[in-house]
Structure 1
Amino acid sequence: MGTLGERAEEREVRSWIGRPLQPVLEERYPGRGAHLTDVYRAWNLANHDDLILEVEGMPALLDAVHAGGARTGVVSSKKAETVRLGLRAVQLDTRIDVIAGQEHTDRHKPDPAPLLYAAQQLGVAPRDCVYIGDAVVDVQAARAAGMGAVAVTWGAGETASLEAAEPDALVGDVAELRAILLPGERP
């Protein structure tokens, strides 16, 4: 229960994932989006490190991807500084080459603009990129950007919705993701 005295259904909240928070809150609570965003951000900063979960095997996967010569980026509807906080909390901050946060583009997922921005910052063509995400908007943005799309089931997205978005691959754990990203690697 939040400051509004009501609770949003989990399915509704999950549909917000991957989109910038203020427009989502403005849609749900007209005229109050900016205030509610400020309230949420204050709460999030106070509780962030206690709530963030590490994905087992991700540091080693990123190290292997880099060892293979690839560069990595994070594209998020969150502000870049919030993304950096999360990456530091799970010891991934030194393993990411580019962060594309909400403030880097005027348009946001499912629009391809933030993914195209990240590819440009990495110095690679979109067709040579694979975008990995846990929300339907991630798959949609990857498709619109001309990138490969891999959906993961360990985040906010629901498996059935992710399957319906028709990613190039749907994976349930880091080992499956590793097999897709590093297909010639021996286990």
Structure 2
Amino acid sequence: MRVPPHAGHVVPRRRRRSGPVMARSSRWDALLFDLDGTLADSIELILRSFRHTMQVHRGTVPPDSVWLASLGTPLREQLRAFARSDEELEAMVETYVEYQRSVHDEMVRAYPGVTDMLEAVARAGLRLAVVTGKRREMAARTLRVCGLDRFFSVVITADDAVPGKPDAAPVRAAATALGIARSDRILFTGDSPHDIAAGRAAGVRTAAALWGARERDTLLAAAPDYRVETIPELTALALG
């Protein structure tokens, strides 16, 4: 649904499931996706990692909304707001990452319908990339556990593009890696205002994924080009 006006890491591609080739979208050459809260249902994992880190290092846990407000930006930048020194920042990053590793696989799943959507757009010949604020190791692990790694030869992570979202750099890195010159032929879907801001700064079209954990009004206030309530709606937009 249209809202009224108001250099990257390339991973080996696995063979996709065979199927008929669909007519290619006349609107898009490439689709970019945020990972957490857009493709992967991983928000509770992220919040548990945050709560654990705050309890260990600060002895108190801020409201989840504080962490969600910065979700989508690099982890180090998120934690910098809570650290009292560079040394504490490094320790907090280590605590967060180690805890997340320990519980990751049991807590992460693809949102229902995501695999079918990616199958459809891949058969249509669209180029696909992930643009995430995660470090490469955990992004790859999330994609693998969700069974989505086979769809993406380009994954832009916090290790590849500095600065991260909401800067345009990671979105531009994905476009370059995919070989797409026309930014208006790229659609970037995410569940964070930082995703929308990064896409707008890069000149691509943006879609707000409203099935995630973000507050609807906050996400729409970022002025995405499209809003999609469900994953089937995103499929229709991508193939339109």
**Given residue 192 of structure 2, which amino acid in structure 1 is its aligned partner?**
A
Asked if structure 2 preserves the Cα contact closer than 8 Å seen for 1:140 and 1:165, the reply is: yes
Q: Give distance in 1, aligned partners of 2:162 and 2:177.
A: 16
Amino acid at match of 1:27: A
Q: Distance in 1 between matches of 2:77 and 2:71?
A: 12
Determine if contact 2:71/2:78 at 8 Å carries over to the other structure. Answer: no
- Per-residue displacement from partner, 1:49-76 (whole Å, max 9, x unpaired)? 1111321111111111111111111011
* Deviant stretches of 4+, over 3 Å: none
Structure 1 residues not aligned, in runs of 5+: none
Counterparts of 1:160 and 1:92, CA distance in 2: 29
**Matches of 1:33 and 1:23, distance apart in 2:** 9
Q: Which has the higher helix share?
A: 1
Computed over aligned residues only, the root mean square deviation of the Cα atoms, in angstroms, reads: 1.2
* CA deviation after TM superposition for structure 1 residue 141, in Å: 0.3
Show the counterpart of 2:69: 15
C-alpha distance in 2 between matches for 1:18 and 1:133: 9
Aligned match of 2:139: 83
2:78 to 21, 24, 46: 24
- Tell me how far apart the structure 2 counterparts of residues 157 and 33 of structure 1 sit (CA, whole Å): 26
Deviations 1:80-107 (A, max 9, x none): 2211100111110101120001011221
Deviation of the 1:25 alpha carbon: 1.0
3-state SS of paired residue (1:72) = strand
Of 70, 75, 94, the residue aligned with 2:150 is: 94
Q: Tell me what 1:64 maps to.
A: 120
Aligned to 2:233: 176
Instruction: Say whether the 8 Å CA contact 1:130–1:150 is kept in structure 2.
Output: yes
**How far apart, in 1, do the equivalents of 2:94 and 2:213 lie?**
22
Task: Write the letter of the residue equivalent to 1:73.
Answer: A
Count of residue correspondences: 183
- Greater relative contact order structure (CA < 8 Å, 6+ sep): 2
Give the stretch that moved more between structures: 4-13 or 136-145: 4-13
Provide TM-score, normalisation by structure 1: 0.93
Q: TM-score, normalised by structure 2?
A: 0.73
Counterpart among 135, 143, 167 of residue 192 in structure 2: 135
Q: How does 1:153-168 map to 2 (within 5 A)?
A: 153-168=210-225
State how far apart, in whole Å, the 2-side matches of 1:156 and 1:113 are.
25
What is the DSSP-based 3-state SS (H/G/I as helix, E as strand, rest coil) of the residue aligned with 2:214? Answer: coil
Identical-pair percentage: 31
Could you tell me which residue of structure 1 aligns to residue 15 of structure 2?
none
Match of 2:110 among 44, 54, 69: 54
Q: Tell me what 1:119 maps to.
A: 175
